[in-house]
């Protein structure tokens, strides 16, 4: 089997943006490692060609196979400003910014949410500008190949001040007369050791690219880039002006044939590693009431497989394909666990209508039975958000010896008391009375309640929303006698408990986790992990999973193994802006 495949990919059409000004956008060049799939996380590289260049230029064709053979997905963009026909589209500097974002979005379809940007000559400026201003946390590093420090000065040095002044006068006059598209600024710019750079632009975009402008001076832009930057070229380019901060490294190669291998080594150093091989399947189970449920199951390669499995239970409003659930599966599989994201009867907010808390037990039973049938006698239950309560309820009711640990990701608190605090005593009493009356009249399964609530602590934003719920189901989940007091349920848990949450979680704080930990009086031990992420632990899946596995191994709940690699696994969704994952997470 080949180590990679190469494809033509119209990233604009896939993103729904289509063509522009009557000129069809050309395909980009996509290199994919063997076995690439949307549900297998891997790093990526976006290559931004130089001025008037195409996605199939030499450096892209050399770099793509090297990186893809090492497990990195690569897209070389067919830019709006490519060649001569692209310049007819009147692309401005910000056009490159849109193209880069669309390319990153296209790579996300192949599991890429951590990427490096590589740009050549003018493309080097574009990738630096994107990293400096886009706020895109998928971008981990930038490489500037044959960079041009100052476009306006560079052009003046090569065609002369008089010729440039003449072109600018023509461009300004026609732009002022609103005749920009009726004139072409056409000039070949000589370059040492390389073909001339061809400029063939309408007046307005010419001025936007080649007039003096601080935002187009690369040293100025690099000062705003927080990610590591490699500026690299042969001896024909002076890189000294670009060493503007500690994050910028400059490097000169002896010949241009060294560029692709050196960039490959750099990318593999700065990027996370790809996931280890695994298989994916959809499975169906049936509950004891013959209710069919679907699961999303991933299995490691046989030589990496543990004798333990992870079963993940989703939250209130989601299902097995929820990002908060399925994004963790490749990470567990990478650590050798077979992992399942399970459907429940309340998936898709069916709990609003006709699914009750105790249904979760029978639903979990069906998936535990599936894992037992496949030979797993150690099962770790992982509950996300409201799923954490389902995990506590299951362990408290079933006491299944195959379930060796309960892991709670962003765990929820006590639903009745949380609702009471959010709506106030008077409104809570009103809704309760309305629900009870509907049930007494035989309308509990059809009568729809409606009320307003404002979320209280630990929510930082105190979000206001209107809530709709059928009467019987509301009483089962939120009513004063509902079996959804997590502090009561966790008190009956008699296996090890791990509580993990994000420091930017709108539904959790230290006090809530401390309360749950204090109530887990029958658990042999209770630990906490904190990560710099939101309620969905978005972008922190690798760190969270590594923390969970380390905890399981520390307490000998599963066999101890060496980590699957000396680098973290690439995430499968983007980090929230500004979130920080603490390398040393506190344990309690």
Question: Who contacts 559 (Cβ-Cβ below 8 Å, separation ≥6)?
Answer: 306, 307, 308, 553
How many domains is the chain built from? 4
Query: Which stretches of 343-429 are assigned E, i.e. beta strand?
Result: 378-384, 403-409
Using DSSP, state whether 475 is helix, strand or coil: helix
| Residue 465 belongs to domain spanning | 416-477
* Dist CA 277 CA 282 (whole Å): 17
Q: How confident is the model at residue 2 (pLDDT cuts 50, 70, 90)?
A: low
Tokens encoding 484? 């959804």
Q: Which of 240, 270, 300 is the last residue of a domain?
A: 270
CA nearest neighbour of 322 among 383, 372, 413, 242: 383
Question: Does residue 413 register a pLDDT over 80?
Answer: yes
Question: Does residue 579 register a pLDDT over 50?
Answer: no
- Cβ distance 70 to 268 under 8 Å? yes
Q: Which of 477, 500, 522 is the last residue of a domain?
A: 477
Residue 139 within a domain = yes
Q: How far is CA 305 from CA 124, 309, 375, 402, in A?
A: 43, 9, 12, 18
Residue 229 within a domain = yes
Q: Which of 197, 213, 229 is the last residue of a domain?
A: 213
Question: Does residue 216 register a pLDDT over 80?
Answer: yes
Q: Both 348 and 307 in a single domain? A: yes
CA nearest neighbour of 542 among 141, 140, 269, 273: 273
Q: Both 389 and 502 in a single domain? A: yes
- Looking at the whole model, is its pTM more than 0.85? no
Higher pLDDT among residues 327 and 561, named by residue: 561
Q: How far is CA 1 from CA 5, 34, 85, 273, in A?
A: 10, 8, 38, 21
Higher pLDDT among residues 35 and 387, named by residue: 387
Q: Between helices 359-373 and 386-398, what is the axis angle to 10°?
A: 70
Residue 566 within a domain = no
Q: Identify the helix (H) or strand (E) that includes residue 366.
A: helix 359-373
Q: Fill in the DSSP letter of residue 576.
A: P
Residue 573 within a domain = no
Q: Fill in the DSSP letter of residue 157.
A: H
Residue 562 within a domain = no
Q: Fill in the DSSP letter of residue 573.
A: S
Q: Both 400 and 349 in a single domain? A: yes
* Dist CA 267 CA 118 (whole Å): 9
Give me the pLDDT at residue 428, please: 96
Q: Both 287 and 371 in a single domain? A: yes
> What would the pLDDT profile of 461-499 be if each residue is shown by its tens digit?
667 778 899 999 999 999 999 999 999 999 999 999 999
**Cross-sheet strand order for the sheet of 229-233:** 4-9, 28-33, 73-76, 44-48, 115-120, 139-145, 229-233, 248-252
Q: Both 283 and 140 in a single domain? A: no
* Dist CA 222 CA 53 (whole Å): 23
Residue 451 within a domain = yes
**Residue 538, preceding bond cis, omega within 30 degrees?**
no
Q: How far is CA 356 from CA 275, 390, 474, in A?
A: 37, 11, 9
Q: Both 366 and 293 in a single domain? A: yes
Residue 574 within a domain = no
Q: Both 80 and 58 in a single domain? A: yes
Q: How far is CA 397 from CA 53, 285, 483, in A?
A: 65, 21, 12
Q: How confident is the model at residue 195 (pLDDT cuts 50, 70, 90)?
A: confident
Question: Who contacts 177 (Cβ-Cβ below 8 Å, separation ≥6)?
Answer: none
Residue 572 within a domain = no
Q: Both 424 and 493 in a single domain? A: no
Tokens encoding 399? 């006491």
Most confident option among 38-42, 265-269, 574-578: 265-269
Give me the pLDDT at residue 327, please: 80
Question: Does residue 320 register a pLDDT over 90?
Answer: no
CATH number of the CATH domain containing 502: 3.40.50.1820
Burial of 253 (0-12, 13-18, 19+ CB in 10 A): middle
Q: What are phi and psi of 133, to 5 degrees?
A: -125, -15
Q: How confident is the model at residue 584 (pLDDT cuts 50, 70, 90)?
A: very low
Q: Both 370 and 502 in a single domain? A: yes
Q: Both 156 and 137 in a single domain? A: no
CA nearest neighbour of 277 among 300, 254, 303, 308: 300
Q: Both 29 and 120 in a single domain? A: yes
Q: Both 410 and 540 in a single domain? A: yes
Strands 403-409 and 308-313: unpaired
Give me the pLDDT at residue 462, please: 66
Cβ-defined contacts of 166-175 (< 8 Å, 24+): 167/206, 168/207, 168/210, 168/211, 170/203, 171/203, 171/204, 171/206, 171/207, 172/203, 172/207, 174/203, 175/203, 175/204, 175/207
């Amino acid at each position: 089997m080949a180590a990679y495949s190469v494809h033509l990919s119209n990233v604009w059409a896939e993103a729904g943006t289509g063509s522009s000004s009557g000129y069809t956008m050309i395909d980009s060049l996509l290199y994919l490692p063997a076995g690439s799939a949307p549900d297998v996380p891997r790093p990526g590289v976006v290559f931004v060609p130089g001025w008037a260049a195409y996605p199939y230029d030499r450096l892209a064709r050399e770099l793509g196979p090297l990186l893809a053979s090492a497990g990195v997905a690569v897209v070389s963009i067919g830019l709006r400003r490519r060649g001569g026909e692209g310049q007819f589209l009147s692309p401005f500097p910000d056009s490159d910014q849109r193209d880069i974002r669309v390319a990153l979005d296209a790579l996300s379809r192949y599991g890429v949410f951590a990427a490096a940007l590589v740009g050549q000559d003018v493309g080097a400026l574009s990738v630096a500008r994107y990293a400096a201003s886009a706020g895109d946390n998928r971008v981990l590093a930038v490489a500037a190949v044959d960079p041009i420090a100052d476009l306006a000065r560079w052009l003046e040095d090569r065609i002369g001040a008089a010729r440039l002044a003449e072109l600018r006068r023509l461009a300004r006059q026609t732009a002022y007369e609103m005749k920009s598209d009726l004139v072409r600024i056409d000039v070949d710019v000589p370059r040492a050791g390389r073909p001339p750079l061809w400029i063939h632009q309408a007046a307005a975009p010419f001025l936007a690219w080649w007039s003096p402008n601080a935002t187009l001076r690369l040293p100025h832009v690099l000062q705003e880039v927080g990610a590591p930057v490699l500026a690299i070229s042969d001896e024909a380019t002076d890189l000294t002006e670009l060493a503007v901060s500690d994050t910028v490294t400059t490097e000169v190669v002896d010949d241009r044939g060294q560029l692709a291998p050196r960039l490959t080594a750099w990318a593999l150093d700065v990027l996370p590693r790809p996931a280890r091989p695994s298989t994916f399947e959809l499975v169906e189970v049936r509950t004891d009431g013959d209710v069919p449920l679907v699961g999303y199951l991933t299995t490691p390669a046989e030589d990496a497989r543990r004798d333990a499995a992870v079963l993940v239970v989703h939250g209130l409003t989601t299902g097995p394909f929820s990002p908060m659930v399925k994004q963790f599966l490749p990470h567990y599989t990478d650590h050798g666990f077979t992992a399942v994201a399970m459907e429940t009867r309340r998936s898709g907010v069916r709990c609003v209508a006709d699914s009750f808390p105790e249904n979760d037990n029978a639903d979990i039973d069906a998936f535990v039975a599936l894992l037992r049938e496949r030979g797993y006698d150690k099962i770790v239950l992982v509950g996300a958000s409201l799923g954490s309560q389902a995990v506590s309820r299951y362990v408290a009711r079933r006491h299944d010896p195959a379930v060796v640990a309960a892991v709670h990701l962003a765990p929820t608190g006590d639903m009745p008391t949380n609702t009471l605090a959010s709506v106030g005593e008077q409104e809570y009493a009103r809704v309760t009375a309305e629900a009870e009356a509907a049930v007494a009249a035989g309308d509990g399964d059809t009568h729809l309640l409606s009320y307003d609530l404002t979320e209280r602590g630990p929510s930082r934003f105190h979000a206001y929303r209107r809530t709709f719920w059928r009467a019987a189901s509301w009483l089962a989940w939120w009513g004063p006698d509902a079996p959804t007091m997590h502090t009561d349920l966790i008190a009956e848990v008699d296996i090890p408990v791990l509580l993990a949450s994000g420091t930017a979680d709108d539904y959790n704080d230290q006090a809530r986790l401390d309360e749950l930990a204090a109530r887990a009086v029958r658990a042999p031990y209770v630990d906490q992990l904190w990560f710099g992420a939101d309620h969905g632990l978005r972008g922190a899946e690798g760190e969270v999973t590594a923390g969970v596995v380390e905890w399981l191994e520390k307490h000998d709940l599963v066999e101890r193994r060496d980590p699957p690699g000396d680098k973290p696994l690439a995430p499968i969704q983007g980090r929230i802006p500004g979130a920080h994952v603490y390398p040393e997470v506190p344990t309690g």
